[in-house]
Amino acid sequence: MTMKIEKIINDPTPYDLGEDHLSSAIDTPLRSDAFDLSDPEKISRIQEHVKEILLTLGMDLTDDSLKGTPKRVAKMFVNELFGGLHPDRRPSLSTFENKYKYNEMLVEKNITLYSTCEHHLLPIVGKAHVAYVSNGTVVGLSKMNRIVDYYAKRPQVQERLNRQIVKELQNVLNTENVACVIDAKHLCVNSRGIRDISSSTVTGEFGGVFQEEGRKNEFLKYIQLETEF
């Protein structure tokens, strides 16, 4: 972890995505008719497509272990893995006045993250570390976890996920002073292709005061602290 964090501090170029980077847009690519179908209608359609995929692969769907798989997969896609696509599932994010005048950074680290790579539809598993400096308002700690979970539950690329988390908190808290670092394993790398099981991907998004070297270093040191109980 230390080598990865030092790379973020000393080498800003991995986050200069360039105009031609496929994942540089902050919005998840959705069609204008993305929500014309109800969830049950989507489940019904996906179920039939999954059934055809399994049949094409030669699977015997009359087997007790497989006959329910198409519906299980369809329900999982709509209700769980990709549930964050629907705006109705966006978490309610009430804010409160910072009555105790806490003016230092607040860090929520080691937020468990489960997402899905949009290139191969394989899991992304890792940790998100989120911080902000209050501009007069604060948000409940669990809401930061919910923001991560909401944007993770959709076909994703890690760079976009990083930016969406930061942008959402910036809007909610009315401040640019938000940062997020994600360290995650991509099973499209670990279980197929190069099959490198030891590598992980680290991305960072730093807004407002977190673009200052001192604040950024402080945040990165915080997330390396061991949590003991």
- The dihedral region occupied by 195, where left means phi > 0, alpha psi between -120 and 50, and beta the remainder, is left
Percent of the chain with pLDDT over 70: 90
Which pLDDT does position 106 carry in this prediction? Answer: 96
Please tell me whether residues 123 and 74 are part of one structural domain. no
Strands 105-117 and 155-156 turn out to be parallel
Please tell me whether residues 98 and 52 are part of one structural domain. no
Catalytic (active site) residue 6: no
Catalytic (active site) residue 119: yes
Which pLDDT does position 10 carry in this prediction? Answer: 45
Mean pLDDT (the chain) is 90
* Residue 2 banded pLDDT, cuts 50, 70, 90: very low
Residue 55 confidence (pLDDT) above 90: yes
Residue 218 confidence (pLDDT) above 90: yes
- For residues 83 and 75, give the distance between their C-alpha atoms in angstroms, rounded to a whole number: 10
pLDDT digits (tens, 9 = 90+) for 88-127: 999 998 899 998 889 899 999 999 999 999 999 999 999 9
pLDDT digits (tens, 9 = 90+) for 68-94: 999 999 999 999 999 999 999 999 988
Domain-embedded: residue 192: yes
The one catalytic residue among 47, 129, 170, 186: 186
Domain-embedded: residue 186: yes
- Please provide residue 15's backbone torsions phi and psi, each rounded to the nearest 5 degrees: -100, 0
Domain-embedded: residue 173: yes
Domain that residue 208 falls in: 93-222
Instruction: Residue 71: give its domain's CATH number.
Output: 1.10.286.10
Please tell me whether residues 137 and 69 are part of one structural domain. no
Domain-embedded: residue 20: no
Which pLDDT does position 75 carry in this prediction? Answer: 98
Count of the separate structural domains present in the chain: 2
Please tell me whether residues 99 and 126 are part of one structural domain. yes
The one catalytic residue among 47, 108, 129, 158: 158
Catalytic (active site) residue 120: yes
State the pTM of this model. 0.87
Domain-embedded: residue 2: no
The one catalytic residue among 6, 119, 212, 224: 119
Catalytic (active site) residue 117: yes
Catalytic (active site) residue 21: no
Which pLDDT does position 227 carry in this prediction? Answer: 81
Domain-embedded: residue 34: no
Which pLDDT does position 126 carry in this prediction? Answer: 97
Instruction: For residues 18-23, give the mean pLDDT.
Output: 41
Instruction: Residue 182: give its domain's CATH number.
Output: 3.30.1130.10
